[in-house]
Structures are given as C-alpha cells and as structure tokens.
C-alpha cells in the first residue's frame, strides 16, 4: 500500500485512474476543478494518454463521457453542483439508457456558497435520476468509492454519482492507494443495440428496467461497508449522520458515541439500518451537509410519530455548511465560549487582481454609462463578476453561465436602452453562443462585451476552449463584422474603448466588443515556469 | 499528541507553502493529518485560511472546532485577528506585522498593531525585513514558519528536512535561503520567549 497526501478531489482523480478510466471529461468549477487537474498532471494518465482535456461545458463533457462509456471504456465526468444543472438533460436520460463501460459522475457541492451562486444539494439529482449516490466521509473513502463506483456502474449498467462538498473537496489527508492502476477496458459495443435509443417505445422499456433495478441499488446500499449501524447506551436519541457530517459528530465523541447511530455514505437510504436505529431510540437527529434530504424522508409529511430533528426544526441552521460547533450544539454539548473577534476587524472580499484587463473595461464602461444611468448592464459568472462590487459597481446581474447575453436580449426586447452584456471568453463559449444567435436572429439592439483574458481565470487559469477564435465564432453566428470591435484592454486604450462603446451603443442591432489581454495571473505563471 | 493550527493570510500570499512544509513533516513523522484549504474566489485577494490538524490518533473533522487551536499563524496582521475565536485559552498567535492593504476600510496600522501587542500570547514579527536580511524577501513565509515552529509539535529536524525536500527542485541556493529564513524566524521567537 502506498500512502499519498491528497485533497478529497484529488483522491477522486487518483481513484479514477486506479479504477481504469480511459478518460476524464469536465468543465472547471470550484470546488471540483482539481479532480481533472490532478489527472492532467498524473504520470500514469500521461503515460496511458488518458483523455484529460477540458470540455466546453458540463453538458458536452457528460455527453462525451457517455460516448466513451458506450464504446465500452470506463470514464469519469466531473463538475460543480450548478454544472449538473447544465448537464441535467443528459444526466436524467443516462439513468434511463444506462451505461456500458463504468461511469462515475463526480459532483462537488458548495454549501455556504464560498464560490457559488447557490448551495443546491446534488443528492436530490441522484434521487431524481434514481441512481446510486456515494457520499464520502473522508479522503480515503473518496478514493475507494471512485474505484468501487466504476466497478458497480459497469456491473449494474448504470451511472453512479459521487457527491462531495467543499470541505472534503479541499482538505488534504493521507490516502492508501493500490500500487498499480487497473488496465483500461478494450473497446466493446453495448450488447443491446437499442439500449441508447430513447424513442418512446424503447424509452418505456428502459425506464422500466431502471425501476426494476431499484431493489438492487437498495441492496447495494444496505450491504455497503460505508453504511453502518453502531449501537450506543443512551437510547434517548439516535443519530443519522451523512457524509462529512459524520466527522463533525465523531469530533464531539472521539472515543465511542453514547448514542446509537447510523453512518450513511451511500444512497438510496439503507432502510434496514434506519429501521434498526428507529426501533431502539426515542427520537432521531439527522446531521447532513446540504439540504434536509434525509430529514424530510424520515420525518413524513404530517410529522406524526417519532420526533425527527435537524435543519427543518431549527436544531441546526437551515442554510450553510455544518461544522463541529454547530453539531456540538445540536447534540446539546456545552462548549466554552470562544473569544470574541475585535471590532476593528473588517471584511476582505475578493477583488480583481492588480493589473487585470477587466479594470480597463469597467473604467471605460462606467464613464459611458454615466450618461445612461444605472441598471443597464447584465453580467455573468467569472472574475469580472467582481465588477458588481466597489469600486466599479458596474454590473447588475450574475445568474447562470451565459445569462448575460440572453438577459440583455430580453431587456432589449422589452425596450431597455442601452442593453449591455459583459461576459468572459470562456463563459461565452460555455453557454453564451446560442444566446447570441437568438439576438442576431432578431437583430436585438444590444451590445455584448466579451472580456477576453484568454483563460478560465477564476478557477485557476485553465485553457479557454475557443482561444483566439472568439471573433470567428461571432462572425459565424452572424454578427455583422463591421460591428465586431477588438482592442487590447490597456489603460492607454481608455479613450478608444469609450469611443467604441458610444458608437456601438448607438448602432441599432447586435454589436460585439472584445477587449482582450491575457489574464495577469496566467501571464505571471507562464513567466515563472 | 494533537496540534491544531489556523494558517491565515490574504489570497495570493502563499500560505499554502507553509501548510505544505508542515504537512510533509507531519507525514514523515507518521502522524495523521488533515489540512483544509481555501480555493476559489477568495484566492483573488480575499481572506484565506487553512485549518491544519496533526495528531497521533485518527482525526475526524477537517475543520477545527472553535477554541481548540494551539496556534494561529498569520502572514498578515489583520488576518491574525479574524480567527481568534478558534484559539484555545493558552494558544499563541504568531503574526507578520506588514499590513496587506487592498480594501478601502483597512484599520489604522497603529491601532491594529496595538491590538495585536495586547494579545496575551503573541509573537509579532516583521517577516519581510528578516527575510531580506536572510537573503531573499520572497522567503518571508519561511521566516513565519520558523517563528511559529516552537509552538508546533514537530521535531525541528523534520521541519528543516521538509523545507529541503520541497525547495529541492528550485536548487541549492533557494534551499539555503529558505532554511536561513526559517532559522532566523525561529531564533526571533526563542529570544522573545527567553527574554
């Protein structure tokens, strides 16, 4: 056994390599990015030449992974929680088609929204699609589950989801790994040629076969070594702990627990273990990271019978990530009052880097927009979202990948003038192109600013998928080449950008302005190496 | 043995280089370790922290419970105060005193440093000056690690070996500069503790 010091996400990457994948597919997103980055840098992955390039978005990633699985090979697809929304169409349907080569869908949730616009809980998607979900407690389980998940996926012919959350994703610990990676599968086509054809008549058959598999998934869960019941002498309350909430529970009882408990790291919920707990205790406390998914299921609509507490009754906060202190308080453990924080302490929010090209864009945009008033600039997800904060306060929306383009279009349709969108190069190629096509088709009166820093910067400078081809894409979509303006985003070009903005705002149709300069962080990294 | 450390700083200051050295030294000493880091948006000049836990027994939580850290090691003075709720009653704060001002409402430096000096157990150090004297201003994080090392339950040789291993690929000169920075930082704290 080798022991490596790995982040939770890196443990998934190593597990995938050791589990014999032939490729990883992903679009970067905190806290999932390092799964793919780890595989990109792995010696084994390089030697085997596993597929490890970034995809344009999570949907294209998952579909390509499905193609690899169709060809009989094992594959991993990774994303952050909101990325699964983008891939939800294919995800829901591959539960029904099933898979051929083993396929693990690794989704990293971000409770407390450290780097996200919401804290949705991906376990609901697993339940929605009716596929097995694995939720590791620690880095070792993250590794082991990835290997086992690929194995089970291939055997049962169903995608398996691994759900982790920020704390485990970005925490490092020792992981025992197997000495050599499993060999890759040879190419083999699905035995049923109609498996992937979801025409209604066939889809009904496939759906019934997914339904028929449910008892197997339950059995897999009930017999899983990652789910277990432990007895305890104090029967006044039984604890149900899911994923890393188990750690916070045990942190408070490092020896043995006084209460009986069920540790849950695999879904569907292990009925037998929960019934065993239920039979012994007066009430139940549910500790889970994310939404109250388990609590809702155990509670029942009318709340009759045994008391079930957790996030719904205020025993734990309804929102945000858990920690050892919140769990201690739910367990009614008295803790010393920690010292208060000094009053002179102020918040230090993230900000655009010194020397970043987005400064130049926002300075010019603000100067022009002074004439038109506030509230007319839509934006998107990336470093430039920081333009919503002081000192710029330039933008008025950040909703989902690509929404700046289509919101600006809709607002222009409504008669808002001017209607401006600010998006980054990578977010544009992720989900902005189709929106631009809508705008071109209707000659919407809007200005699209694509702040091209030639990189996916917020997540650490990954390669942007249309490097050097942004203008070509805009032309291809049908934007009038006379209204595609490219300039270098530099302080010396301030007057030029102001002039271009004024001119394009007054053009009645779709204009695209591309202020371009390499991300300052990426430049620094390039110079260091 | 159990040692909980909060590492604090501003995104871009490189606190993870300190965590990496401690982590490697801990692993080489066959200790259990969990080290939670901040990745993502905050790395763009926001407040960042790393919760580093070492123990000879398995560790459960990746986060440190409040009031249980033996040490807050901060490479920026205001950030040293942000995590005081994690500090145990007899815990130490070891902090750099050079402010990193990237916000308009940063507190007055004098007031801030007075607040730090008034902490019951504190080592406040000008890491940049010491690093410059030790040969390279870029080694200030190793000055900070050296200054904090008397409060970390790891053998001195283990930490120094980890510095050698981690900087080895950058050449002997860089190893020597970082070791010298580390030792100067340690000497600063030892002198303070003995005075």
Q: H-type helices in B42-118, by residue range?
A: 77-82, 109-117
Of A3, A340, A353, the CB nearest to B45: A353
Closest CA of chain B from A20, distance in Å: 27
Tell me the per-residue pLDDT of A158-208, one tens digit each, with 9 for 90 and over: 999 999 999 999 999 999 999 999 999 999 999 999 999 999 999 999 999
Partners of residue A173 in chain B, C-beta under 8 Å: 32-35, 59, 62
Q: In the structure encoding, which two tokens stand for residue A261, read together? A: 């408990």
Using a CB-CB cut-off of 8 Å, the residues of chain A touching B115 are: 342, 344
Which pLDDT belongs to residue A340?
85
Instruction: Flag if B37 and A115 touch (Cβ within 8 Å).
Output: no
Residues in chain A closer than 8 A to B23 (CB atoms): 5, 172
> DSSP letters along A336-362, please?
PPPPPPPTT-------PPTT-HHHHHH
The pLDDT, as a whole number, for residue A473 is 98
Q: How many CB atoms lie within 10 A of CB B87?
A: 26
Q: Which pair of tokens denotes residue B95?
A: 């902090």
Give the domain B2-194 fold.
Pyruvate-ferredoxin Oxidoreductase; domain 3 (3.40.920)
User: What ipTM was estimated for this complex?
Assistant: 0.94
Q: Which residues from B are below 8 Å from A7, CB to CB?
A: 37
* Residue whose C-alpha is closest to residue B83's, from B141, B93, A453: B93
Give the strands of the sheet with A103-109, arranged side by side.
A21-26, A74-80, A103-109, A160-165, A133-134, A266-267
Confidence band for A319, pLDDT divided at 50, 70 and 90: very high
**Residue bearing the bigger pLDDT, B134 or A281:** A281
* Ranges under pLDDT 50 in chain B: none
Cross-chain residue pair B42–A335, CB shorter than 8 Å: no
Taking the CA of residue A342 and the nearest CA in chain B, the distance in Å comes to 7
pTM of the model: 0.96
What residues of B are in contact with residue A336 (Cβ under 8 Å)?
67, 89
Say how far apart CA A131 and CA A126 lie, in whole Å: 5
A464 burial level (CB within 10 Å; 0-12, 13-18, 19+): buried
| The dihedral formed by the CA atoms of B167, B170, B172 and B178, expressed in degrees to the nearest 10 | -40
**Distance (Å, whole) CA B180 – CA B133:** 10
Query: Would you list the DSSP string of A131-196?
Result: --EE--SSHHHHHHHHHHHHHHHHHHTS-EEEEEEHHHHTEEEEEEE-SSPPPPPPP---SSTTTT
3-state secondary structure of B188: helix
Q: Minimal Cα distance from B77: which residue of A?
A: A345
Q: Which residues contact B187 (CB under 8 A, 6 or more apart)?
A: B146
pLDDT band at A338 (very low <50, low <70, confident <90, very high): confident
Residue B2 contacts A, CB cutoff 8 Å: no
Peptide bond between residue B82 and the one before it cis (omega within 30 degrees of 0) = no
Q: Please provide the CATH number assigned to the domain covering A357-527.
A: 3.40.50.970
Residue of chain B nearest A349, judged by CA positions: B46
Q: Which residues does chain B have within 8 Å of residue A386's beta carbon, measured at their own beta carbons? A: 44
Give the whole-angstrom CA distance, residue B92 versus residue A125. Answer: 45
Of A438, A433, A439, A409, nearest in space to A421 by CA: A409
- What is the C-alpha to C-alpha distance for residues A93 and A80, in angstroms, rounded to an integer? 19
| CA–CA distance, A388 with A14 (Å, rounded to integer) | 38
Strand ranges for chain B from DSSP E:
2-10, 32-36, 47-55, 69-74, 87-96, 122-125
Task: Give the nearest partner residue to A350 out of B39, B42, B65, using CB atoms.
Answer: B42
Are A348 and B103 within 8 A, CB to CB?
Answer: yes
Contact call for A167 and B62, based on CB within 8 A: yes
Name B72's bridge partners. Answer: B6, B93
Per the CB < 8 A criterion, the answer to whether A465 and A371 are in contact is no
**What are the respective helix, strand and coil percentages of chain A, to the nearest 5?**
40, 15, 40
Whose CA is closest to A349, among B16, B43, B84?
Answer: B43
Across the interface, of B11, B85, B112, the residue whose CB is closest to A344 is: B112
Q: Does B174 lie at the interface with A, CB-CB under 8 angstroms?
A: no
Point out the residue among B32, B37, B61 whose CB comes nearest to the CB of A247.
Answer: B61
pLDDT at A529: 74
Q: Which residues of A touch B40 (CB under 8 A)?
A: 30-31, 114-115, 458-459
Parse chain A into domains and list their residue ranges: 2-223, 228-330, 357-527
- Tell me the C-alpha to C-alpha distance, in Å, between residue A450 and each of A300, A387, A400, A413, B85: 49, 14, 16, 21, 43
Q: Which residues of B touch A345 (CB under 8 A)?
A: 78, 81-82, 107
pLDDT at A2: 62
| Calpha distance A510→A446 (Å, rounded) | 5
Cβ burial of A231 (10 Å; 0-12, 13-18, 19+) is middle
CB contact under 8 A, A345 and B24: no
B42 touches chain A (CB under 8 A): yes
* B6/A contact by beta carbon, under 8 A: no
pLDDT at A1 over 80: no
**Contact (CB<8Å) B61/A170:** no
Give the residue among A168, A101, A100 at the shortest CA–CA distance from A134. A168
A107 torsion bin: left (phi>0), alpha (psi -120 to 50), beta (else) = beta
**Segment A462-486 mean pLDDT:** 96
Q: Which residues of B touch A250 (CB under 8 A)?
A: 60-61
Q: Does B107 touch chain A (CB under 8 A)?
A: yes
Give me the pLDDT at residue B134, please. Answer: 81
Q: Which residue in chain B is spatially nearest to A350 when comparing CA positions?
A: B46
Contacts of B48 in chain A (CB under 8 A): none
Taking CB atoms and an 8 Å cutoff, what residues of chain A touch B106? 346
| Contact at CB, A172 and B37, closer than 8 angstroms | yes
| Mean pLDDT, chain A, whole residue set | 96
Q: How far is A199 from A192, CA to CA, in rounded Å? A: 14
Chain B nearest C-alpha distance from A61 (Å): 21
Interface list for B 11-30 with A (CB within 8 A): 11-12, 23-24, 27
Tokens describing residue A232: 């305890």
Rounded CA-CA distance A469/A476 in Å is 10
Q: Tell me the CATH number for domain A2-223.
A: 3.40.50.970
Mean pLDDT of the A286-293 span: 98
Which residues neighbour A43 within 8 Å (Cβ) at sequence distance 6 or greater? none
CA B187/CA A183 separation, integer angstroms = 53
Number of Cβ within a 10 Å radius of residue A460: 18
The neighbour count for residue A424, using CB atoms within 10 Å, is 30
Q: List the beta bridge partners of residue B92.
A: B71
Owner of token pair 């097995």: A132
Tokens for A453, please give them: 């820093």
Q: Is A205 exposed, middle or buried (0-12, 13-18, 19+ CB in 10 A)?
A: middle
| Binary contact (A173, B89; C-beta < 8 A) | no
Tokens of B40: 């993502």
Quick one: pLDDT band at residue A3, thresholds 50, 70, 90?
Answer: confident
Chain-chain contact of B46 with A344 (C-beta, under 8 angstroms): no
**Shortest distance, CA B44 to any CA of chain A (angstroms):** 5
Cα–Cα distance for residue pair A270/A267, rounded to 1 Å:
7
B114 part of contact set with chain A, CB < 8 Å: no
**Which of A455-459, A472-476, B170-174 has maximum average pLDDT?**
A472-476
Each residue's pLDDT tens digit, A382-403: 999 999 999 999 999 999 999 9
Inform me whether the C-beta atom of residue B102 falls under 8 Å from chain A C-beta atoms: yes
* Cross-chain residue pair B57–A34, CB shorter than 8 Å: no
B6: β partners? B51, B72
The residue of chain A nearest to residue B25, with distances taken between CA atoms, is A5
Calculate how close chain A gets to B126, using CA atoms only, in Å: 20
Q: Which residues in chain A are contacts of B59 at CB distance < 8 A?
A: 173
Q: Tell me the pLDDT tens digit for each residue of A352-367.
A: 999 999 999 999 999 9
Nearest to A250 among B24, B60, B62 (CB): B60
Pick from A113, A173, A328 the residue to mutate for testing the B interface (most B CBs within 10 Å).
A173
- Assess contact for A422 and A387: CB atoms under 8 A: yes
Inter-chain CB proximity A386 and B44 less than 8 Å: yes
**Contact between B44 and A459 using a beta-carbon 8 Å cutoff:** no
Gap between the Cα atoms of A71 and A101, Å rounded: 7
How high is the pLDDT of residue A320? 97
Report the alpha-carbon distance of residue B148 to residue B122 in Å, rounded: 10
**Of all helices (H) and strands (E), which one includes residue A497?**
helix A494-505
How far is residue B194 from each of residues A479, B116, B120, B188, measured CA to CA in Å?
73, 20, 16, 10
Over range A426-441, report the average pLDDT: 98
Whether residues A251 and B65 touch (CB distance < 8 A) is answered with yes
Query: What does DSSP assign to residue A438?
Result: H
Residue B159, C-beta contacts closer than 8 angstroms, at least 6 positions apart:
B21, B22, B25, B145, B149, B152, B182
Class at the top of the CATH hierarchy for domain A228-330: alpha beta
Using CB atoms, which residue from A30, A339, A386 is nearest to B84? A339
């Amino acid at each position: 056994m080798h022991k490596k010091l790995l982040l939770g996400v890196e443990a998934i990457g190593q597990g995938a390599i050791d589990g014999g994948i032939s490729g990883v597919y992903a679009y970067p997103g905190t806290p999932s990015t390092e799964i793919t980055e780890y595989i990109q840098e792995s010696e084994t992955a390089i030697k085997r030449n596993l597929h490890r390039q970034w995809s344009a978005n999570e949907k294209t990633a998952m579909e390509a992974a499905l193609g690899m699985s169709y060809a009989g090979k094992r594959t991993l697809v990774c994303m952050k929680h909101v990325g699964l929304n983008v891939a939800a169409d294919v995800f829901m349907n591959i539960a029904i088609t099933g898979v051929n080569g083993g396929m693990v869908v690794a989704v990293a949730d971000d409770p407390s929204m450290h780097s996200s616009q919401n804290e949705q809980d991906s376990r609901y998607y697993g339940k929605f699609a009716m596929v097995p979900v694995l939720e590791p407690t620690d880095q070792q389980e993250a590794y082991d589950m990835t290997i086992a998940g690929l194995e089970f996926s291939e055997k049962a012919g169903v995608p398996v989801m691994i759900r982790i959350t920020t704390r485990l994703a970005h925490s490092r610990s020792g992981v025992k790994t197997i000495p050599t990676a499993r060999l890759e599968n040879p190419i083999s086509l699905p035995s049923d040629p109609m498996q992937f054809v979801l025409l209604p008549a066939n889809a009904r058959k496939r759906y019934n076969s997914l339904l028929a598999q449910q008892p197997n998934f339950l059995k897999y869960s009930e017999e899983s070594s990652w789910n277990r019941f432990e007895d305890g002498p104090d029967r006044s309350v039984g604890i149900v702990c899911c994923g890393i909430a188990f750690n916070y529970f045990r942190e408070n009882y490092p020896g043995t627990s006084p209460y009986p408990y069920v540790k849950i790291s695999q879904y569907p919920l292990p009925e037998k273990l929960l019934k065993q707990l239920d039979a012994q205790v007066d009430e139940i406390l549910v500790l889970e990271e994310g939404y109250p998914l388990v609590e809702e299921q155990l509670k029942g609509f009318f709340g009759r019978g045994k008391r079930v507490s957790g996030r719904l009754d205020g025993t734990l906060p309804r929102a945000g990530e858990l920690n050892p202190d919140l769990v201690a308080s739910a367990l009614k453990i008295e803790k010393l009052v920690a010292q208060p924080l000094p009053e002179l302490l102020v918040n230090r929010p993230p900000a655009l880097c010194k020397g970043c090209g987005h400064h130049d864009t926002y300075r010019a945009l603000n100067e022009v927009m002074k004439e038109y008033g506030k509230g007319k600039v839509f934006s998107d997800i990336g470093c430039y979202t920081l333009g919503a904060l002081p000192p710029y306060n330039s933008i008025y929306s950040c909703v989902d990948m690509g929404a700046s383009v289509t919101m600006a279009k809709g607002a222009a349709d409504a008669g808002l003038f001017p209607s401006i969108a600010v998006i980054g190069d990578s977010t544009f190629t992720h989900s902005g192109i189709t929106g631009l096509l809508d705008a071109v088709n209707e000659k919407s009166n809007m200005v699209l600013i694509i702040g091209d820093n030639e990189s996916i910067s917020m997540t650490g400078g990954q390669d942007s998928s249309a490097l050097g081809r942004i203008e070509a894409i805009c032309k291809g979509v049908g934007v009038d080449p006379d209204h595609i303006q490219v300039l270098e985003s530099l302080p010396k070009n301030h007057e030029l950008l102001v002039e271009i903005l004024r001119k394009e705002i007054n053009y009645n149709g779709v204009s695209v302005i591309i202020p371009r300069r390499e991300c300052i962080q990426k430049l620094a990294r390039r110079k260091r190496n | 043995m159990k040692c909980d450390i909060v590492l604090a700083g501003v995104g871009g200051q490189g606190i993870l280089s300190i965590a990496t050295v401690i982590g490697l030294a801990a692993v080489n000493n066959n200790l259990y370790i969990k080290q939670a880091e901040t990745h993502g948006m905050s790395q763009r000049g926001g407040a960042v922290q790393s919760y580093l836990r070492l123990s000879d027994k398995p560790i459960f939580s990746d986060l440190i419970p409040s009031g249980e850290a033996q040490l807050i090691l901060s490479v920026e003075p205001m950030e040293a105060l942000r995590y005081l709720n994690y500090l145990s009653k007899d815990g130490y704060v070891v902090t750099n005193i050079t402010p990193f001002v990237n916000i308009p409402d940063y507190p007055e430096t004098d007031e801030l440093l007075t607040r730090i000096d008034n902490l019951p157990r504190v080592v406040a150090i000008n890491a940049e000056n010491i690093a410059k004297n030790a040969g390279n201003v870029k080694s200030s994080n190793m000055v900070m690690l050296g200054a904090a090392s008397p409060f970390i339950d790891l053998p001195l040789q283990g930490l120094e070996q980890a510095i050698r291993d981690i900087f080895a690929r950058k050449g002997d000169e860089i190893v020597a500069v970082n070791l010298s920075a580390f030792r100067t930082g340690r000497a600063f704290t030892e002198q303070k503790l003995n005075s």
